[in-house]
Structure 1
Amino acid sequence: MIKHSKSVVIHKFGGYDVLKIEDYSLPDLKDKIEVEVYYCGLNFCDIYKRLGFFNKPLPFVMGSEACGVITDLGLKTDQFQIGDRVICYDFEEGMYRTILRTSPEKCFKIPDEIPMEDGAAIFLNYLTAYFALFELGGIKSGFNVFIKSCGGGFGCAATQLARTVKNVTIYGVVSKGKEQQVQQNGVNFVYNNESDYLNEAKKDCPEGFDLILDNESGSWLNEGCKVLKFFGKIVVLSANSMINNPNSISLFSKLKLFVGVLSFQLSSLMNKSNSVCGLHTGNLVRENRKRVLECLNVIFDLYKNGEIKPKIDSIWPMEEVVQASKVLGERRNVGKVLLKTRN
């Protein structure tokens, strides 16, 4: 029986140089599913973990998202069998491996119609976008949707899912050089993130926005509320404004976010009957598998019908995880960044 697998491991928190490739021990197969991994998905939550924001005990295997083929079972189950193609997800990390063993509730079958690389790109980004748009945002025909960061894996997924609803207009912010690609993905109005984009968007959408998808949080919430329609909503997905240093999250960044949240005025919501929602997909996957499966099946059907298609920015060999992580951390990607574990 296999006891180790090639993995991306960190032994200390810090910059890209803490990412190491090594053979790392596998947990016992009992009560678990063994998966030969084909691709891993890179996500911003992995950056938080690498920088030590969650103070996770060291050392540990990086990565929250992978897909591959089941090669062994350490339990009796009617849900899975050897040879099934599955997505594996765990917010607590442990997925950047050539072979992984995990519990069955962290595995989700991939339909035959979906290629493995698209399976690796579809789970977290599209689930998060679906919950933000449909479950919390209540998107419907005629909505004006503002996506704070429309060029990454989540932003591309949110754009495609929003376009499945008739007569939706999408406004998005992106870094310089990505404008044409996000327009091709379906964004109607594109703004450079170094410009006065909120005032520019107000000129293009003077009536205001029905829904804002925000990945910064902090003081930006007050500004976002100013451009909402009556009954408009902001869905807060993360606090990526803290990630401005590849080696650490500074105390200043944490304080800036904390002060920004404290400065948020409840009257900003009450004046126009607005609401702010928070979304943590990791907790949803852990606590409400039934709802996750329902939404995932809707997403799979949209894929089969040709209404969505994951935009993959680049695929890197596992040995080049540092370079791949820089693409994501420096926000150079348009779409999903993947690792491949097989030659």
Structure 2
Amino acid sequence: MATASADADQPTSTETCKAIWLVGHGGYDKLQVKNTPVTSPGDGEVRVAVQACGLNFAELMMRQGLYRRSPTLPYIPGFECSGTVESLGDNVTGLEVGQRVVCVPGHGSWSEKIVLKFDHVFPIPDSMSFEEAAAIPVNYITAYMMLFDVAHLSPGKKILVHMAAGGVGTAVTQLARTVENVTIFGTASSSKHETIRQAGVDHPIDYRSVDYEQAVRSISPDGVDIVLDPLGGKDVKKGVNLLRPLGITVLFGFANVVTESKNYFNLAKQIAGFDLGGLFGVPQAKEAATKLLQLYEEGAIKPRIDSVYSFAQVAAAQKRMHDRLNVGKIILVPHKEEEKQDTPTAEESRQGGEMSENMETKKEETKETENEEEAEPNK
């Protein structure tokens, strides 16, 4: 536990808590629930009893060894969580013991208890559930800053968002709907189209059966103003091709690196991206968090919870995200009735680590293919 950085040299007591540790790179078996010493909050710190944690695609990449801002192994993953304030260190202002809060430590959230800086802790409305609170920080702060700080969304703009049924896609849709006359194109499998349409996507596109570039142009021949791309790879080039004059592509993820057979990091370097790893260290992120909690109270946004898994079911939760089955946010909770889930088999667990085992080979392949033209569209 315990601290956001999972440091072992902090003063500890005999008290322990359950936490999910990443002990190596590879399959799902590299995520292990362990008893972990509980630390006390120091100067300017808060200890929180965690009730819910968010699961993000970046944490899949961490398990596979693909995320460049990962701490040194072993460590406790988790960008975000919610819970109740348990104790306060010296010089903490604006928080009270027993207060319901959402936390953005950067790392270390997947623990029953966490110690972090008090200015990374925000009180939540009484009407907000712990699961909803844990779904806010990464997805909604990312969406908010991409739309308004990076892409400068304004009335009348057209947006293409990939993985529109996921956590960030849902957040983008809801936030874009707060601006007048915005047209939203969203890619998702056909089974999710009605859901994303109800959420506010004007034009759902089944990326598995049609070329989304052609689908967008059939409705908007001159393309779109903003492309929000969590995929990377071939889709970077396609996104640029879809831009109207003065349009912008915002690259904020590399899902294709996890699911494709090639590494396209070098291609992605052609475009300035949104760096999730450094998100919580900037003042704009804190301002965005405050604004988002206000928008929730006003009824303008509401996180969609796809499913809730216990810490012991973290492998099944990651597999659901890896297979792109979720509609909305996947949540991890420390305590939950152990109902049967589709837990990965031993063979699936090994397959989950195949990408990280071959990363060095992939990097060499990238150098050879970096300047090649991509003949087939990635739908």
For residues 290-301 of structure 1, the aligned pairs below 5 Å read 291-301=284-294
C-alpha distance in 2 between matches for 1:294 and 1:58:
32
C-alpha distance in 2 between matches for 1:342 and 1:71:
17
- Asked whether 1:278 is paired with 2:273, we answer yes
CA shift, 1:2, in A, is 5.6
Whichever residue aligns with residue 215 of structure 1, its letter is: P
What SS does the corresponding residue of 1:342 show, helix, strand or coil? coil
CA shift, 1:199, in A, is 0.8
Q: Is the 8 A contact 1:141 1:168 kept in 2?
A: yes
| 2:103 alignment partner in structure 1 | 88
For residues 48-63 of structure 1, the aligned pairs below 5 Å read 48-53=61-66, 54=68, 56-63=71-78
C-alpha distance in 1 between matches for 2:119 and 2:289:
14
| 2:170 alignment partner in structure 1 | 156
For residues 155-194 of structure 1, the aligned pairs below 5 Å read 155-194=169-208
| 1:97 alignment partner in structure 2 | 111
| 1:126 alignment partner in structure 2 | 140
Deviations 1:293-329 (A, max 9, x none): 3222221222112111111101112221111111112
What SS does the corresponding residue of 2:135 show, helix, strand or coil? helix
CA shift, 1:173, in A, is 0.6
Q: How many residues align?
A: 320
Whichever residue aligns with residue 259 of structure 2, its letter is: N
For residues 1-343 of structure 1, the aligned pairs below 5 Å read 1=13, 3-31=15-43, 32-53=45-66, 54=68, 56-91=71-106, 93-194=107-208, 195-244=210-259, 253-254=262-263, 256-258=264-266, 260-261=267-268, 264=270, 277-286=272-281, 288-289=282-283, 291-343=284-336
C-alpha distance in 2 between matches for 1:297 and 1:88:
12
C-alpha distance in 1 between matches for 2:161 and 2:234:
17
Unmatched tracts of structure 2, length 5 or more: 1-12, 337-379
More displaced stretch, 294-303 vs 151-160: 294-303
Q: Is the 8 A contact 2:14 2:37 kept in 1?
A: no
Q: Is the 8 A contact 1:149 1:155 kept in 2?
A: yes
CA shift, 1:243, in A, is 0.7
C-alpha distance in 2 between matches for 1:294 and 1:94:
22
Question: TM-score under structure 2 normalisation?
Answer: 0.80
What SS does the corresponding residue of 1:198 show, helix, strand or coil? helix
Q: Is the 8 A contact 1:49 1:56 kept in 2?
A: no
Whichever residue aligns with residue 196 of structure 2, its letter is: V
Deviations 1:21-53 (A, max 9, x none): 110123443233111000000011111211122
Whichever residue aligns with residue 146 of structure 1, its letter is: L
Percent of aligned positions that are identical: 31
C-alpha distance in 1 between matches for 2:108 and 2:51:
15
Deviations 1:243-296 (A, max 9, x none): 117xxxxxx633x332x246x5xxxxxxxxxxx54212441311x23x223222
Question: TM-score under structure 1 normalisation?
Answer: 0.88
More displaced stretch, 162-171 vs 209-218: 209-218
CA separation of 1:57/1:281 partners in 2, compared to 1, >3 Å: closer, same or farther? Answer: closer
Q: Is the 8 A contact 1:86 1:109 kept in 2?
A: yes
C-alpha distance in 1 between matches for 2:62 and 2:95:
30
C-alpha distance in 1 between matches for 2:244 and 2:17:
52
RMSD: 1.9
Q: Is the 8 A contact 1:136 1:277 kept in 2?
A: no
Q: Is the 8 A contact 2:125 2:297 kept in 1?
A: no
More displaced stretch, 27-36 vs 70-79: 27-36
C-alpha distance in 1 between matches for 2:258 and 2:51:
29
C-alpha distance in 2 between matches for 1:221 and 1:342:
40
C-alpha distance in 2 between matches for 1:113 and 1:293:
21
CA separation of 1:296/1:228 partners in 2, compared to 1, >3 Å: closer, same or farther? Answer: same
C-alpha distance in 2 between matches for 1:49 and 1:27:
25
CA shift, 1:162, in A, is 0.5
